[in-house]
């Protein structure tokens, strides 16, 4: 029953947010992570200064994980995860430090992951763990 509701919601979102691949990809990543036993604690976390943003913050076992979601309509210009360059990593890490400080989580319990989404038929969603530190 829930699978049917998720598929219907996906179709509705794809029509409503046809040009917003990022939103669709984040929804798919959110669902994948929850199905793998993770607890999602925040979506689209932004620092107060606006210097960084994190797509998803999750608990995976004893680790607080900051997840960057990259979505592409195809792999014509390369895999989505290749778009996470040094500058993007720096912004994500800055936001992660802010979040961890506010939540009083030790840095040793932090991990950075990427979820790569290709909106092909059928969509491909891949979870890459511990991609940078």
CATH of the domain at 68: 3.40.1350.10
Is 43 in contact with 22 (CB distance < 8 Å)?
no
Rounded-to-integer distance, Cα 105 and Cα 15, Å: 39
Tens digit of each residue's pLDDT (9 = 90 or more) over 106-130: 999 999 999 999 988 898 999 999 9
Give domain status of residue 123, yes or no: yes
Give domain status of residue 3, yes or no: no
Which residues, other chains included, contact 87 with Cβ-Cβ below 8 Å and sequence gap of 6+? none
Give domain status of residue 95, yes or no: yes
Give domain status of residue 4, yes or no: no
| Structural tokens at position 122 | 């059928």
Tens digit of each residue's pLDDT (9 = 90 or more) over 51-101: 889 999 999 999 999 999 999 888 888 888 888 899 999 999 999 999 999
Give domain status of residue 12, yes or no: no
Give how many domains the chain has, as a whole number: 1
Residue-number span of the structural domain to which 103 is assigned: 20-132
Give domain status of residue 10, yes or no: no
Give domain status of residue 63, yes or no: yes
């Amino acid at each position: 029953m829930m699978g049917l509701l998720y598929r219907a919601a996906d179709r509705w979102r794809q029509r409503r947010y046809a040009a917003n691949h990022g939103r669709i990809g984040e929804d798919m990543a959110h669902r994948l992570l929850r199905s793998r036993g993770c607890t999602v604690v925040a979506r689209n976390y932004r620092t107060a200064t606006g210097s960084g943003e994190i797509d998803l913050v999750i608990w995976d076992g004893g680790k607080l994980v900051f997840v960057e979601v990259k979505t592409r309509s195809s792999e014509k210009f390369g895999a989505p995860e290749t778009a996470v360059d040094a500058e993007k990593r720096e912004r994500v890490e800055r936001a992660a430090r802010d979040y961890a400080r506010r939540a009083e989580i030790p840095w040793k319990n932090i991990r950075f992951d990427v979820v790569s989404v290709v909106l092909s038929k059928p969509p491909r969603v891949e979870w890459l763990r511990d991609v940078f530190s």
